[in-house]
């Protein structure tokens, strides 16, 4: 079966809305690197407020809904990606984290070419790094310069990667009728907004587009 690499943001959005049980309904395996498992389970298990969420995620891993994948060389490759991403700007800013870099490293080191990610920066590094650079420069109150050539070279490494969000997953699930057990109602509208409010980087305009597309 083909695979999709997932980062923690997409898993959290889905889990918060009790949507992880949809994953086995698709003809793909959803995989995470070991570092993402640590972020999803090990750390929140130690916090009263999030212990139950971590237990549910651990259960999802134990049941194979999410699979933890160890890839040889992923740490070293992630370090290299981090070094490149985090030196794009002068002065330097650490735009990417180890967990996100490990997801990107998995994409480079395996034949998986789809990433499920809800947060914005990782997605833009892969899809439109210049737009990310412009965004960061516009938000800084200080002068910030981006090495555009280096940025394009980094993006180019992932040119065959498709980036999906949990919202794309839900849109496909909706169209396949996988949400029908929730009864009548504005299923698509409700689920897209639920994911947005859980942290998925989708705009209201995009949600409107989805509602037009799939009405």
Tell me which residues touch another protein (CB under 8 A).
2, 4, 8-9, 12-13, 16, 26-28, 39, 43-44, 47, 49-50, 53, 91-100, 114, 119-122, 124, 127-128, 131-132, 135-136, 139-142, 162, 164-165, 168-169, 171-172, 175, 196-206, 209-210, 213-214
Smallest distance, another protein to C-beta of residue 124, A: 7
- Run of H or E including 67: strand 67-68
Smallest distance, another protein to C-beta of residue 133, A: 9
Whole-angstrom distance, CA of residue 11 vs CA of residue 78? 20
Whole-angstrom distance, CA of residue 157 vs CA of residue 91? 24
Q: How distant, in Å, are the alpha carbons of 7, 81, 103 from that of 163?
A: 11, 17, 12
Site of tokens 């947060």: 119
Smallest distance, another protein to C-beta of residue 7, A: 8
Smallest distance, another protein to C-beta of residue 78, A: 12
Task: Name which of 16 and 79 has its Cβ closer to another protein.
Answer: 16
On whether the CB atoms of residues 192 and 210 are closer than 8 A, the answer is: yes
Task: Name which of 72 and 205 has its Cβ closer to another protein.
Answer: 205
Q: Which residues contact 167 (CB under 8 A, 6 or more apart)?
A: 118, 192, 195, 196, 200, 202, 206, 207, 210
Task: Name which of 72 and 125 has its Cβ closer to another protein.
Answer: 125
Q: Which residues contact 76 (CB under 8 A, 6 or more apart)?
A: none
Task: Name which of 71 and 125 has its Cβ closer to another protein.
Answer: 125
Task: Name which of 109 and 198 has its Cβ closer to another protein.
Answer: 198
Whole-angstrom distance, CA of residue 103 vs CA of residue 80? 13
Smallest distance, another protein to C-beta of residue 62, A: 20
Task: Name which of 151 and 183 has its Cβ closer to another protein.
Answer: 151
On whether the CB atoms of residues 101 and 85 are closer than 8 A, the answer is: yes
Smallest distance, another protein to C-beta of residue 193, A: 10
Q: Is 82 helix (H, G, I), strand (E, B) or coil?
A: helix
């Amino acid at each position: 079966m083909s695979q999709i690499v997932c980062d923690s943001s997409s898993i959290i959005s889905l889990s918060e809305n009790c949507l992880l049980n949809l994953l086995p309904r698709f003809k793909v395996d959803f995989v995470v690197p070991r570092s993402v498992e640590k972020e999803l389970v090990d750390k929140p298990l130690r916090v009263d407020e999030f212990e139950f969420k971590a237990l549910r995620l651990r259960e999802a891993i134990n049941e194979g809904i999410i699979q933890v994948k160890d890839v040889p060389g992923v740490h070293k490759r992630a370090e290299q990606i981090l070094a490149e991403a985090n030196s794009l700007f002068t002065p330097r800013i650490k735009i990417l984290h180890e967990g996100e870099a490990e997801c990107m490293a998995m994409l480079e080191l395996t034949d998986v070419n789809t990433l499920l990610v809800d947060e914005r920066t990782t997605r833009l590094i892969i899809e439109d790094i210049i737009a990310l650079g412009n965004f960061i420069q516009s938000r800084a109150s200080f002068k910030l310069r981006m090495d555009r050539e280096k940025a394009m070279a980094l993006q180019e490494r992932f040119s065959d990667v498709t980036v999906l969000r949990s919202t794309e997953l839900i849109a496909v699930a909706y169209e396949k009728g996988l949400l029908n057990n929730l009864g009548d109602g504005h299923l698509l509208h409700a689920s897209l907004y639920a994911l947005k409010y859980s942290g998925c980087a989708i705009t209201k305009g995009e949600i409107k587009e989805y509602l037009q597309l799939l009405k």
